Chains A and B, each alone.
Chain A
Amino acid sequence: MSSESSLFSHRWLPALLLAPMILLILLFFYVPVFQAFYWSFFLEQPFGGGSEFVGFENFQRVLGDPEFWAATGRTVVFMLTASSLAVVVPLMLAIAADRKIGMSYPARNILVWPKGIAGASIGVVFAFIFNPFVGLMAPLNALFPGLWNPGIDGTDAFTTLVAAHVWSGIPFNFVILLAGLRSIPPTMYQAAAMDGAGPWRRIFDVQLPLIMPQLFLTFVLEFTESITSVFALIDTITGGGPGGSTSLLVYKIYVDGFRGFDLSGASTQTAILMVFVLLLAACQFYFLGRRINYER
């Protein structure tokens, strides 16, 4: 759009049009992001009691805290397990729903429903369904006492979180991957069939390679999503327990900041988490992004 007549020229109108959005974003995005980094170098007193520059002391304190590393480790484990499941499960469903079979119409409709159910709502529901005394596992627990108790066993609690996360993540990833599959030209399948590739073979040789861009995108978004949106699930299903075994970083930041009033510690961890998320996205773009340029 460089030719003379293809754009409006106006002195203040574009600035006026952009102003509301930019102002909101400056105030509620850039200032908070900046402040998290700024505060990580200060010792903040709660309730506005003044602040004192402490250099890297906050970072030393946070990085020397075994709880921080435990929460980081759990965040990474959750990110790897929950987000790979939250991509692979919708991927299999999308490949199935892409076929012209009777089930694919209801599936395309129903698999989008979780989009309307808040993470916290499904958290409340899963907390009930997986309740050891009245839930799904109660009859089994009666037969084998202690088989399932997310209130005591950290692994059980973690599993419940993963199941709830995958449940909530299905709509977006399913829709994106299905859209990718449907945009593959039919001639590709015909050519593969001519070469003797059966329907199973075509999944791996035609469909998967051609939806790499969508697959890549869902992974990028899902990694961030699994780190942040898990808060609602933790708060409603496990409360970080038992014994801190499901206290992921995003939850620990909330507890430190809003219950412990440790603003400096919470800000420092926020800053570290932000850098982590940005690095993660950058890495994915660098390592994965290079390999997925298939011409359609």
Chain B
Amino acid sequence: MVENARSINIAASILLAIGILYIVGPLYLTLSTASQSYEYMLRNGLAWVPGTELFANMGKVIHDTRIPIQMLNSMIVAFSNALATCILSFLSAYAIVYFRIRWAGVAFALILATIMLPLDIRVITTYQVASNIFSPLNAVLDFTGLNSLIETMFGAPVQLELSVLDTHFGLIAPLVAHGTGTFLFRQFFLTLPKDLFKAARMDGAGPIRFLIDILLPLARTSFASLFVLTFLSGWTQYLWPLVGASTPDMQTAVVGLARLVPDADGQVPDFPMIMAGAVLVSLVPLTMIALLQRFLVQGLVLSEK
């Protein structure tokens, strides 16, 4: 199509340039300030030109703060969140799509409803559940009167207690309890031709064989997309790790970074050091985006359909 679209192309270019500046600007200022000394920052404010102190500031973060061990925590949380979400979502979507079960619709609705109310909204009571994951069981036993029965028979009611606070499991499990992955795999399964299933059946493949030999290889891209998406979401969580872990050695890097900023007003904080921390904490997810951008974009689009 040949037409004169000069004015709109110029406008679009300017707009995109502003957009890029808006995204990159704060990142650049973070990096340039991280490479200046505290004294330079006190004299000149934020740094427009990079200096030479980047590694010195990073060294300060690594030696004087708990960020290194917290980055390890973030790694564990993000990786396990991604892996567990991929596996559990794949299995549940498989059960919903490929089995003749009467309650498939109910199960899917139960899982999908989790998308409506994010973890940040229900953090108070999720914290209570995590502080004793048997509390629902105890409550059910109390409520149904089973516990008073047990008490008369065995002398004491059942009161189990197990806290998952301050554990990696406790940081991860509430993140996995989310429906996006199941939704994504279900949509993917529904796009596959039915003949695939019939052919596999004809060749005598059972449910497990069909899952491993046919669906798993086909779903590689979906796995990659979901993995990148949930890894990033696990890494960038804030409110849940903030309350779910109370000791600095169990907290995640993002929480640790926020704690680097002193609460009290007065002296100007060591911003170059804090910015160096921000660079360190963002290094892993940004590298991931740079390398696996294709899957991230695909994951975002798929999770919407």
Residues of A with Cβ closer than 8 Å to B? 1, 5-10, 13-15, 17-18, 20-22, 24-33, 35-36, 39, 89, 92-93, 95-97, 99, 101-104, 106-107, 109-129, 131, 133-136, 138-139, 151, 167, 170-172, 175-176, 179, 189-190, 193, 198-200, 214, 217, 224-225, 227-229, 231-232, 235-236, 239, 250, 253-254, 257-258, 263, 266-267, 270, 273-274, 277-278, 281
Bound form: Cα–Cα A24–B99 in Å: 21
Report the separation of the CA atoms of residues A209 and B173 in the bound assembly, to the nearest whole angstrom: 41
Whether B275 is near chain A, meaning CB under 8 Å from some CB there, is yes
Q: Does B41 contact A (CB under 8 A)?
A: yes
Do A93 and B1 form a contact, CB below 8 Å, given A29-B177, A120-B254? no
Contact B232 A128 (CB under 8 A): no
Distance A171 CA – B296 CA, assembled complex (angstroms):
10
Residue in A21, A96, A263 whose beta carbon sits within 8 Å of that of B89 in the complex: A21
A193 to chain B, nearest CB (A): 6
Q: Which of B20, B101, B117, B136 contacts A107 (CB 8 A)?
A: B20
26 intermolecular pairs with C-beta atoms under 8 Å apart: A5-B201, A13-B99, A17-B92, A22-B92, A27-B136, A27-B177, A28-B174, A32-B126, A36-B124, A99-B9, A112-B297, A117-B27, A117-B285, A119-B236, A120-B238, A120-B254, A123-B258, A124-B258, A124-B274, A128-B274, A138-B46, A217-B304, A228-B120, A235-B239, A236-B261, A254-B124
Residues on A with C-beta less than 8 A from B95 are 13-15, 17-18
Which residues B78-129 have CB closer than 8 A to chain A? 88-89, 91-92, 94-101, 104, 107, 110-111, 113-114, 116-118, 120-129
Chain B residue with the shortest CB-CB distance to A230 = B120
Query: Please, which residues of chain B bring their CB within 8 A of the CB of A228?
Result: 118, 120-121
Quote the shortest CB–CB distance from B107 to chain A (angstroms): 6
Whether the Cβ atoms of A267 and B125 lie closer than 8 Å is: yes
Given the known inter-chain contacts A32-B126, A117-B236, please indicate yes or no for A179 contacting B177, CB distance below 8 A.
no
Residues of B contacting A9 in the complex (Cβ-Cβ under 8 angstroms): 99-100
CA distance A190 to B3 in the complex (A): 11
B124, B136, B285: the one within 8 Å of A116 (CB)? B285
Interface size of B by Cβ–Cβ distance < 8 Å? 107
Which of A115, A224, A236 meets B118, CB within 8 Å? A224
Q: How far is the CB of A59 from chain B (nearest CB, A)?
A: 16
A28 touches B173 (CB 8 A): yes
CA distance A20 to B93 in the complex (A): 12
- A10–B92 CB distance below 8 A: no
Smallest beta-carbon distance A129→chain B, Å: 6
A17 to B99, CA, bound (A): 11
Mark out the residues of chain B between 1 and 49 whose CB falls within 8 Å of any chain A CB in the assembled complex. Answer: 1, 3, 5, 7-9, 11-13, 15-17, 19-20, 22-24, 26-27, 29-30, 33, 41-42, 45-46
Q: Which residue in A124, A170, A200, A254 is a CB contact (below 8 Å) of B278?
A: A124
B223 at the interface (CB under 8 A from A): no
**Contact at A232–B136, with CB atoms within 8 Å?**
no
Q: Which residue of B lies closest to A23 (CB)?
A: B177
Q: Does B167 contact A (CB under 8 A)?
A: no
Contact call B257/A121, Cβ cutoff below 8 A? yes
Contact (Cβ within 8 A) B45 A32:
no
> How far apart are the CA atoms of A231 and B254 in the complex, in Å?
13
Task: Tell me if B194 counts as interface (CB < 8 A to partner A).
Answer: yes
CB of B227 closer than 8 Å to a CB of A: no
Residues of B within 8 A of A106 (CB): 20
A250 close to B121 (CB less than 8 A): yes
Set A30, A97, A193: member contacting B16, Cβ < 8 A: A97
In the assembled complex, the Cα of A14 lies from the Cα of B257 at a distance in Å of 43
A94 shortest CB reach to chain B, Å? 10
Q: Which of B52-60, B213-221, B286-294 contacts A (4 or more CB under 8 A)?
A: B286-294
Q: Which residues of A contact B268 (CB under 8 A)?
A: 133-134
Residues 178-204 of chain B: 1 if any A CB is under 8 Å from the residue's CB, otherwise 0?
Answer: 110010000000000010011001000
B238/A231 in contact, CB under 8 A: yes
Whether A121 pairs with B1 at a CB distance below 8 angstroms is no
Whether B201 contacts A99 by the Cβ 8 Å rule is no
Query: Which of B17, B107, B271 sits near A134, CB closer than 8 Å?
Result: B271
In the complex, the 6 A-B pairs of residues with the closest C-beta atoms, listed nearest first: A116-B285, A118-B236, A96-B12, A232-B238, A32-B125, A17-B95
Contact partner of A113 (CB less than 8 A), chosen from B27, B92, B304, is B27
State A119–B233 Cα separation when bound (angstroms). Answer: 11
The answer on a CB contact under 8 Å between A13 and B26 is no
Distance A224 CA – B1 CA, assembled complex (angstroms): 41
A97 to B242, CA, bound (A): 37
Counting CB contacts under 8 A, is B145 at the interface? no
Do A277 and B116 touch across chains, with their CB atoms under 8 A apart?
yes
Interface residue B133 (Cβ < 8 Å from any Cβ of A): yes
The reply to whether B238 and A32 form a contact with Cβ atoms under 8 Å apart is no
A270 neighbours in B (Cβ, 8 Å): 121-122, 124-125
- Please tell me if the beta carbons of B121 and A25 are within 8 angstroms of each other in the complex: no
In this assembly, does B176 line the interface, its C-beta being within 8 Å of a C-beta of chain A? yes
Which residues of B sit under 8 angstroms from A193, Cβ to Cβ? Answer: 1, 3
